[in-house]
């Protein structure tokens, strides 16, 4: 039975996904180590540093190696790192070519390159989910581009907006994350082969060419210089996940608030029993949104850890490196889970347009006081118009009357607004949506 939410049989699919777990599983990680060792052997064979026959045997052994995980665990606890234990088993499986395994490399070269291979595979999933989420939000925003609702600032009615406009703002962040992810790849997806202190002294003058061929074998970018203690690339990867989950947390917060009974404007997709209470049969809790928000808060802590872990001492760290072993997998698991929850929740989101319109009218038109003021200003001057509308608002609040009814009692305002019919129209919140629909179309690319 698992001891954390990430390996728990109960919680693991709420805080991760099967696809992402497969990337960061022990067996997959060890396979990456072996893959990196084989790529190094092939690169060295191309330069004649080790025999071609040795490279072939090492590559074959790496591809079909059955790791004794219990032996590897025991040796890893003794050594402190898993690469020497892996080299022992790979060398044994390579027969007479075993002496060429790990030629000129250092433990961190193998571990860092394997980590980057994991990140590359994980980013494929993140990018796929972001692109799928983009389509879901495009559809949602376009469908509700003219659906009026109350815009809220400081949790109070501010001005009317449309729900499509709100969804398009969510979408705009997702678009930027897709762009950021693509831009980050050349900085993050770097191979690592530099030797003990990063100078490639163990392999001589051919070192940089060997490094190039090694990176080419793995499909990774060649670094300009060793990055054993320059961890900004990995910190950037987790920071990107922090940005992504931060956006999902914002979306989740909006949805949760709008699902509240007093708002009643949204509901998460109905699945029998989902979000149910053990004592209150009426409950339909926003579970997906809650998990998205939890993921955002957890990944944020890992971003801080990765930034702290950038501070390495001299040419090889005495401990900060180990922080990555915790934060990287958990950040990707949480991000994968949050994206999966977001896709499910937003694809089936229930939008109550009638309740949005009802809530928009809660203040009896006070939400468009600005509209009335700006419409009267050309004839009255802005400040005088402001004062008249301000007084009308106070009357409306104190007497619990609609703004339109109060305005119609003021001949000066009615005249400035162009008559009674025009005055009543200016007090209709649905008529003061600004360029919400046009802005939505700019983001969705639809009209």
Q: What is the CATH number for 423?
A: 1.10.40.30
In this structure, are 380 and 333 located in the same domain?
no
Of residues 102, 192, 277, 384, which has the active-site annotation? 277
In this structure, are 293 and 375 located in the same domain?
no
Beta bridge partners of 190: 221
Q: pLDDT for 17-61, tens place per residue?
A: 999 999 999 999 999 999 999 999 999 999 999 999 999 999 999
Q: Is residue 390 part of a domain?
A: yes
Q: Is residue 141 part of a domain?
A: no
Q: How many residues does the chain have?
A: 447
SS3 190: strand
Q: Is residue 30 part of a domain?
A: yes
SS3 343: helix
Torsion sign (Cα): 217, 72, 302, 133: positive
In this structure, are 316 and 373 located in the same domain?
no
Low-confidence ranges of the chain (pLDDT < 70): 1, 272-283
pLDDT for 278 equals: 55
Q: What is the DSSP string of 118-169?
A: HHHHHHHHHHHHHHHHHHHHHHHHHHTTT-EEEEEETTEEEEEEEHHHHHHH
In this structure, are 348 and 377 located in the same domain?
no
In this structure, are 170 and 270 located in the same domain?
yes
Q: What is the CATH number for 35?
A: 1.20.200.10
* Alpha helices, H only, 260-286: none
Residue 345: both structure tokens together:
């929740």
272 is catalytic: no
Q: Is residue 38 part of a domain?
A: yes
pLDDT for 359 equals: 95
Q: Using alpha carbons, select from 8, 13, 120, 21 the residue that is nearest to residue 344.
A: 13
Q: pLDDT for 182-198, tens place per residue?
A: 999 999 999 999 999 99
Question: Angle at CA 66, nearest 5°, toward 61 and 69?
Answer: 130
In this structure, are 351 and 312 located in the same domain?
yes
197: containing domain: 18-136+161-357
Q: Is residue 29 part of a domain?
A: yes
Residue 419: both structure tokens together:
């008559």
CA distance 419 to 412: 10
Q: Crossing angle for the helix pair 26-46 and 83-93, nearest 10 degrees?
A: 60
| C-alpha pair distances (Å), 69 with each of 85, 94, 177, 354 | 10, 18, 38, 60
pLDDT for 280 equals: 53
In this structure, are 431 and 320 located in the same domain?
no
pTM of this structure: 0.93
pLDDT for 210 equals: 96
Tally of structural domains, the chain: 2
| C-alpha pair distances (Å), 70 with each of 318, 357, 394 | 26, 63, 76
288 is catalytic: no
Out of 357, 377, 407, a domain closes at 357
Q: Is residue 144 part of a domain?
A: no
In this structure, are 390 and 284 located in the same domain?
no
Q: Is residue 237 part of a domain?
A: yes
In this structure, are 380 and 332 located in the same domain?
no
Q: Is residue 146 part of a domain?
A: no
Out of 357, 383, 405, a domain closes at 357
In this structure, are 338 and 372 located in the same domain?
no
Of residues 94, 102, 154, 338, which has the active-site annotation? 154
Given the structure tokens 């990944």, which residue do they identify?
299
Beta bridge partners of 162: 148
CA distance 245 to 295: 7
Distance of CA 330 to the CA centre of its chain: 13
Residue 409: both structure tokens together:
């009692």
In this structure, are 225 and 295 located in the same domain?
yes
In this structure, are 417 and 347 located in the same domain?
no
Out of 357, 389, 417, a domain closes at 357
């Amino acid at each position: 039975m698992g001891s954390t939410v990430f390996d728990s049989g109960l919680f693991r699919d709420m805080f991760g996904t099967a696809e992402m777990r497969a990337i960061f599983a022990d067996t997959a990680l060890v396979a990456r180590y072996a893959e990196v060792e084989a790529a190094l052997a092939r690169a060295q064979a191309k330069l004649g540093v080790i025999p071609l026959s040795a490279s072939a045997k090492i590559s074959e052994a790496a591809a079909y190696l059955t790791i004794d995980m219990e032996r590897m665990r025991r040796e890893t606890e003794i050594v402190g790192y898993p690469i020497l234990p892996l080299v022992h088993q790979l060398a044994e499986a390579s027969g007479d070519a075993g002496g060429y395994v790990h030629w000129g490399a250092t433990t961190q070269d193998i571990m860092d390159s394997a980590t980057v291979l994991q990140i590359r595979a994980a980013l494929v999933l993140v990018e796929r989910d972001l692109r799928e989420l983009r389509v879901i939000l495009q559809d949602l925003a376009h469908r509700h581009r003219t659906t009026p609702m109350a815009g809220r600032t400081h949790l109070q009615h501010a001005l009317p907006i449309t729900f499509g406009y709100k969804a398009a703002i969510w979408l705009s962040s997702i678009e930027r994350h897709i762009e950021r992810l693509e831009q980050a790849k050349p900085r993050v997806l770097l191979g690592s082969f530099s030797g003990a202190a990063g100078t490639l002294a163990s392999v001589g003058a051919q070192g940089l060419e060997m490094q190039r061929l090694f990176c080419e074998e793995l499909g990774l970018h060649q670094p300009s210089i060793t990055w054993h203690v320059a961890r900004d690339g990995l910190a950037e990867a987790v920071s990107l996940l922090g940005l992504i989950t931060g956006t999902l947390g914002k979306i989740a917060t909006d949805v949760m608030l709008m699902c509240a009974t007093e708002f009643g404007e949204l509901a998460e997709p109905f699945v029998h029993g989902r979000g149910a209470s053990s004592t209150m049969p009426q409950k339909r809790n926003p579970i997906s949104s809650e998990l998205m928000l939890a993921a955002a808060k957890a990944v944020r802590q890992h971003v801080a850890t990765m930034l702290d872990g950038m501070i390495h001492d001299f040419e090889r760290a005495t401990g900060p490196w180990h922080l990555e072993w915790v934060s990287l997998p958990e950040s990707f698991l949480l991000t994968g889970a949050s994206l999966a929850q977001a896709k499910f929740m937003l694809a089936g989101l229930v939008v109550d347009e009638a309740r949005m319109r009802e809530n928009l009218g809660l203040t009896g038109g006070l939400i468009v006081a600005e509209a009335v003021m700006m419409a009267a200003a050309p004839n009255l001057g802005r400040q005088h118009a402001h004062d008249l509308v301000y007084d009308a608002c106070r009357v409306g609040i104190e007497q619990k009357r609609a703004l339109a009814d109060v305005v119609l009692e003021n001949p000066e305002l009615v005249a400035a607004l162009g008559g009674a019919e025009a005055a009543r129209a200016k007090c209709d919140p649905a008529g003061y949506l600004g360029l919400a629909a046009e802005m939505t179309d700019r983001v969705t690319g639809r009209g």
